[in-house]
């Protein structure tokens, strides 16, 4: 694709906002844009469908409405609240963020991408999405629905499209007056497209299929962490709680979790490692 005209950007914006006016989705983190709630939503939405996140986010914000309150929470309590969302590492990273934000920013979520990228578990996307959704600051970022929308409209007959080719398009199309609303609309447009047409993201150079969850190492890993969130356990009890029948599989999971400093063992008793516990 070479260049982008103001006419093209105008037509695209009109299509996106027209869809949003008629079919815009409603989520609690859109109604309540407090920065902490936005940060929680972005962590929960990583690799998890929005419909699954709604109830978790709502309960989480009731339990820990501020970053400082979550900073004081026990890791076991956090994991119990997270149970079912998967990718438990996100919960550990969110806990680390709460500690850093409480201690270094007095509980105020940073609004600069550079500051946010220094926090645990925050990459380029989240570091730019949070300022936009929490503070309505114009930034440029890509996720799956945004990518789908741009590929569908601007790269119709192209394959192997790289994100670096999409960035200039997003720069040109960004509504700098109300970027928060623009990205809500853009994400909703992309999500709708994937239901109506073959997924445009298959034409992205970065497209990969997610491996099945059932029977995966990821599933076993989550089972052990859920079991330990119930309390300390010896090997036999841990195997019973987790439902992992093959003891070799259990050993492999524990070994990985210990190397990642998520689980600790003492005299044959396993436990969730405390956030500030020395490694």
Active site residues: 42
In eight-state DSSP terms, residue 143 is -
d(CA 212, CA 56): 23
Longest dimension (CA), the chain: 69
Beta-bridge partner residues of 161: 204
Beta-bridge partner residues of 46: none
d(CA 279, CA 264): 9
SS3 207: coil
Backbone angles phi, psi at 233, to 5 degrees: -155, 145
Q: Which two tokens stand for residue 63?
A: 């339990």
Q: Which two tokens stand for residue 143?
A: 């996720």
The residue count for the chain: 279
What are the CA-CA distances from residue 154 to residues 11, 144, 185, 225, 244 (Å)? 11, 15, 17, 44, 48
For the beta sheet containing 263-266, the strands, ordered from the edge strand earlier in sequence to the opposite edge, are 233-234, 269-272, 263-266
d(CA 235, CA 253): 12
Q: Is the dihedral of CA 56, 58, 60, 66 positive or negative?
A: positive
CB burial of 158-181 (b: ≥16 within 10 Å; e: otherwise) equals eeebeeebbeebbebbbbeeebbe
SS3 138: coil
């Amino acid at each position: 694709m070479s260049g982008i005209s103001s006419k093209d950007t105008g037509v695209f914006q009109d299509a996106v906002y027209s869809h949003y006016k008629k079919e815009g989705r409603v989520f609690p983190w859109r109604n309540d844009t407090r920065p902490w709630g936005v940060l929680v939503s972005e962590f929960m939405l990583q690799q998890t469908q929005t419909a699954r996140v709604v109830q978790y986010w709502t309960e989480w914000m009731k339990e820990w409405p501020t970053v400082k309150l979550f900073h004081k929470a026990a890791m076991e309590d956090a994991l119990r609240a997270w149970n079912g969302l998967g990718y438990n590492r996100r919960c550990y990273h969110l806990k680390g963020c709460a500690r850093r934000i409480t201690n270094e920013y007095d509980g105020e979520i940073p609004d600069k991408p550079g500051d946010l990228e220094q926090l645990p578990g925050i990459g380029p996307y989240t570091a730019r999405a949070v300022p936009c959704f929490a503070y309505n600051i114009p930034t440029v970022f890509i996720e799956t629905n945004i990518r789908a929308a741009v590929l569908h409209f601007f790269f119709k007959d192209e394959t192997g499209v790289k994100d670096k080719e999409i960035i200039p398009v997003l720069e040109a199309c960004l509504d700098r007056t109300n970027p928060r609303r623009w990205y809500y609309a853009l994400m909703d447009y992309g999500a709708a497209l994937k239901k109506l047409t073959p997924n445009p993201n298959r034409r992205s150079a970065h497209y990969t299929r997610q491996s099945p969850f059932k029977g995966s190492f990821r599933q076993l890993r989550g089972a052990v962490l859920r079991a330990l969130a119930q309390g300390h356990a010896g090997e036999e009890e841990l195997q019973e709680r987790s439902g992992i029948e093959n003891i070799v599989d259990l050993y492999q999971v524990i070994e990985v979790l210990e190397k990642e400093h998520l689980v600790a063992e003492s005299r044959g008793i396993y436990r969730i490692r405390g956030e500030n516990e020395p490694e």
